[in-house]
Amino acid sequence: MSVLAHEIAASPALAPFEARRLREIALAAGADDVGFVSIDDPAIAFERAEILAAFPFARSLVSFVMKMNRENVRSPARSAANVEFHRVGDETDAVSHRLARMLEDIGVRAAYPSMAFPMEATQWPGKMWVVSHKPVAVAAGLGKMGVHRNVIHPKFGNFILLGTVVVDVALDSYSRRLDYNPCLSCKLCVAACPTGAIHPDGGFELAACYTHNYREFMGGFMDWVETIAQAKTAVAYREKVSDAESVSMWQSLAYGPNYKAAYCLAVCPAGEDVIGAYRDDRKGFLQRIVDPLQKKVETIYVTPGSDAEDYVKRRFPHKRVKPVANGMRAASIAAFARGLPLRFQQKRAAELAAVYHFVFSGAERRDITVTIAKGRLEVGEGLIGKADLRIFADAQTWLRFLRKERSLLWSLLTFKIRLRGDPRLLAAFGRCFP
């Protein structure tokens, strides 16, 4: 038994617990770097209630990073990248388990959520995860969010996975946030993204990324199941789903969901351990790492009528575009309001300038104002300003209309949905949220 193990076994839990000692224990459990956040830190205030609901004893969060093999992630062969995601993901959960066990052995209560899956699936389409590892890691000084919305560690770059362990002790000191951002703003992630989800101005279109990269995850799986249900024969099914796609879905079900891209991670040159190759030979870096991903012949999954569909056809004409549903269906009016910024199509909204008042009645009573102007979206509570179009709708009818379970004509004829203003603005609204 090591000296550290003897110390752990012989020591009672202390309050406050030494951050230095907790760091040693976390590194001994296998973490590559570690930081600490108080449950009361304002930086994670939006997470506090959910963390305490799952772990009522929580007083501090231990955030840690695990390094990934860069060359696997960079490979155009997605099987190589995905085996690394799964292998390091499993090890991340194993480190969480070992750390929680080591702390429990010295009288410190500790628990951990999964690095990724399983999650609280019954909460779909709402937030399924118990702890948001990225903001916790940023608050713990382990990195900053890059343009691509991934955490960049100052040494390891974005070639990391994150874990969190919740403990019932306060610490004698907590980590400080990084005072700089390792992100180079080089925009290589913008260039490599096959769907145009990462915008040059720093904007991010979640729906475009989600539809393609997570095709074999939650929403894409739902769309695949519905495709099977709607197909009356095997021939009809094969007309919509190729044999390779069926095999790929089987592989994800058998061996864990496979990401379709994650090219933003692959090309990122930030981090002390990573930047040398980019700094010393930028042209060679582009030729070896960025170009193979851009030139790869592959299927890109997009929402029909989306900015992503136009982007792929224009930017990557050698890639096959396949329009699909992504399962991003609102189950409530609250979810409808929250989802608008996630599905908003900036380019399709460029010529639209309108204020919409939504007045929902029935099962969910709520007033919402949506303003679209110059390709920008604002969603506000209540009826704000003067509306160009007012929509009065029974909440359940509106949700069924969005799910294409009820026609707009039927809803208007039965007065379940009423419009006051130019009805063409409703069609324009729909084009912004395909």
- HSE value, Cβ hemisphere, 13 Å, CA-based, for 329: 17
Mean predicted confidence (pLDDT) in 167-178: 97
Task: Decide if 266 contacts 289 (C-beta within 8 A).
Answer: yes
pLDDT at 33 over 90: yes
Span 333-431 CATH architecture: 2-Layer Sandwich (3.30)
- The verdict on domain 3-167 having CATH code 3.40.109 is yes
Q: What angle do CA 323, 325, 330 make, to 5 degrees?
A: 150
Of 368, 428, 375, whose CA–CA distance to 392 is shortest?
Answer: 368
pLDDT in the model for residue 7: 44
What gap in Å lies between CA 272 and CA 154, rounded to an integer? 6
Please provide residue 73's backbone torsions phi and psi, each rounded to the nearest 5 degrees.
-65, -35
What gap in Å lies between CA 211 and CA 199, rounded to an integer? 16
Q: Which of 1-5, 46-50, 61-65 has the lowest mean pLDDT?
A: 1-5
What gap in Å lies between CA 90 and CA 83, rounded to an integer? 10
pLDDT category, 3, cuts 50, 70, 90?
very low
pLDDT tens per residue, range 10-31 = 344 446 999 999 999 999 999 9
Answer yes or no: same fold for 3-167 and 333-431. Answer: no
5 vs 397, residue with greater confidence: 397
pLDDT at 81 over 50: yes
Mean predicted confidence (pLDDT) in 106-115: 97
88 token code pair: 């390091």
Domain positions in the chain are: 3-167, 188-323, 333-431
What gap in Å lies between CA 373 and CA 354, rounded to an integer? 7
77 vs 14, residue with greater confidence: 77
Mean predicted confidence (pLDDT) in 136-143: 98
With tokens 């030139």, the residue in question is 295
What gap in Å lies between CA 166 and CA 131, rounded to an integer? 10
pLDDT in the model for residue 86: 97
Mean predicted confidence (pLDDT) in 277-283: 96
pLDDT category, 5, cuts 50, 70, 90?
very low
pLDDT category, 125, cuts 50, 70, 90?
confident
Of 310, 145, 326, 300, whose CA–CA distance to 226 is shortest?
Answer: 326
161 vs 8, residue with greater confidence: 161
pLDDT tens per residue, range 152-164 = 999 999 999 999 9
Please provide residue 175's backbone torsions phi and psi, each rounded to the nearest 5 degrees.
-70, 155
**Bridge-partner residues for 376, per DSSP?**
373
Mean predicted confidence (pLDDT) in 383-396: 97
With tokens 């379940």, the residue in question is 416
pTM for the model stands at 0.91
pLDDT in the model for residue 15: 63
pLDDT in the model for residue 173: 97
Taking the alpha carbons of 307, 309, 312, 315 in that order, is the dihedral positive or negative? negative
pLDDT at 287 over 80: yes
pLDDT in the model for residue 43: 96
pLDDT category, 4, cuts 50, 70, 90?
very low
**Bridge-partner residues for 389, per DSSP?**
356, 421
Q: Where are the alpha helices (DSSP H) in 260-332?
A: 263-267, 275-280, 282-285, 291-295, 307-315
pLDDT in the model for residue 36: 98
